[in-house]
Chain A
Amino acid sequence: MGFKEARQKAHDVWASLVDNKRPLIFAGAASCGRAAGVQSVISAFRTRLAEKGIEASIIEVGCVGMCYLEPIIDIKMPGKPRVSYSNINPARARKLIADHIIGGEVCEDLAIGTVGEQRADGIPGLFEHPMLAAQNRRVLRNCGLIDPTNIDHYIATGGYSGIEKAIEIGPEATIEMVKKSGLRGRGGAGFPTYRKWEFCRRSPGTPKFLICNADEGDPGAFMNRSLLEGDPHAVLEGMLIAGLAIGSSKGIIYARAEYPLAVERLKIALAQMSEYGLLGDGIMGSSFSFEIELEEGAGAFVCGEETALIAALEGRRGMPRPRPPFPAVSGLWGKPTNVNNVETLGNLPQILINGPDWFAELGTEKSKGTKTFALAGKVKRTGLVEVALGTKLRDIVFSIGGGILDEKKFKAVQTGGPSGGCIPLEMLDLPVDYERLAEAGSIMGSGGMVVMDESTCPVDIAHYFISFTQQESCGKCPPCRIGTNKMLGILQKIKSGKGTMRDLALLEELALTVKRASLCGLGQTAPNPVLSTLRYFRDEYIEHIRNRRCPAGVCRKPRKKAADNHNSNSVADATGGE
Chain B
Amino acid sequence: MTDNNGDYGTGRGRLISALAKIQKKHGYLPEDALSELSRKMGISKSEVYGVATFYSQFKFDPPAKHTLHICLGTACHVRGGMKILESVRKRFKVNPGETTEDRKFALERVACLGCCALAPVVVLDGEIHGKMTPESVDKLIDDLDAPERGV
Contacts and interface: CB of A to CB of B under 8 A. Distances in A.
A313 B1 CA distance: 5
Nearest to A456: B78
Contacts of B2: 293
Nearest to A418: B74
Contact of A217 (B54, B89, B112): B112
B16 interface: yes
Contacts of A296: 17, 20
A31 interface: yes
A452 B54 contact: no
A472 B3 CA distance: 28
A285 B98 CA distance: 56
Given A318-B54, A376-B117, A574 B96 contact: yes
Contact of A216 (B50, B95, B109, B114): B114
Contact of B95 (A217, A315, A567): A567
Given A298-B19, A333-B8, A333-B9, A378 B118 contact: no
A217 B57 CA distance: 14
Given A217-B112, A377-B79, A570 B57 contact: no
A154 interface: no
A99 interface: no
A373 B40 CA distance: 45
Interface string A328-348: 000011110000000000000
B128 A35 contact: yes
B18 to A, nearest CB: 9
Given A300-B54, A378-B79, A571-B96, A35 B130 contact: yes
Query: Which 4 A-B pairs give the minimum distances between C-beta atoms?
Result: A67-B117, A220-B74, A222-B114, A298-B55
Interface of A: 31-32, 34-37, 67-68, 70, 216-222, 225-226, 252, 257-259, 293, 295-301, 312-318, 332-335, 374-378, 382-384, 414, 417, 448, 450, 452, 456, 461, 464-465, 468, 472, 474, 567, 569-571, 574-578
24 contacts: A32-B115, A35-B128, A219-B74, A219-B75, A219-B77, A219-B111, A221-B116, A222-B116, A295-B17, A298-B16, A299-B55, A313-B13, A316-B12, A334-B8, A377-B79, A378-B78, A382-B75, A382-B116, A450-B75, A450-B78, A450-B116, A571-B95, A576-B72, A576-B82
Given A221-B114, A315-B16, A417-B74, 19 more contacts: A35-B130, A70-B117, A220-B112, A258-B113, A295-B1, A295-B17, A297-B57, A298-B20, A298-B55, A298-B57, A312-B55, A313-B1, A313-B13, A316-B12, A316-B51, A332-B1, A377-B119, A575-B96, A576-B72
Interface of B: 1-3, 8-9, 12-17, 19-20, 50-51, 54-58, 72-75, 77-79, 82, 85-86, 89, 95-96, 109-119, 121, 128-131
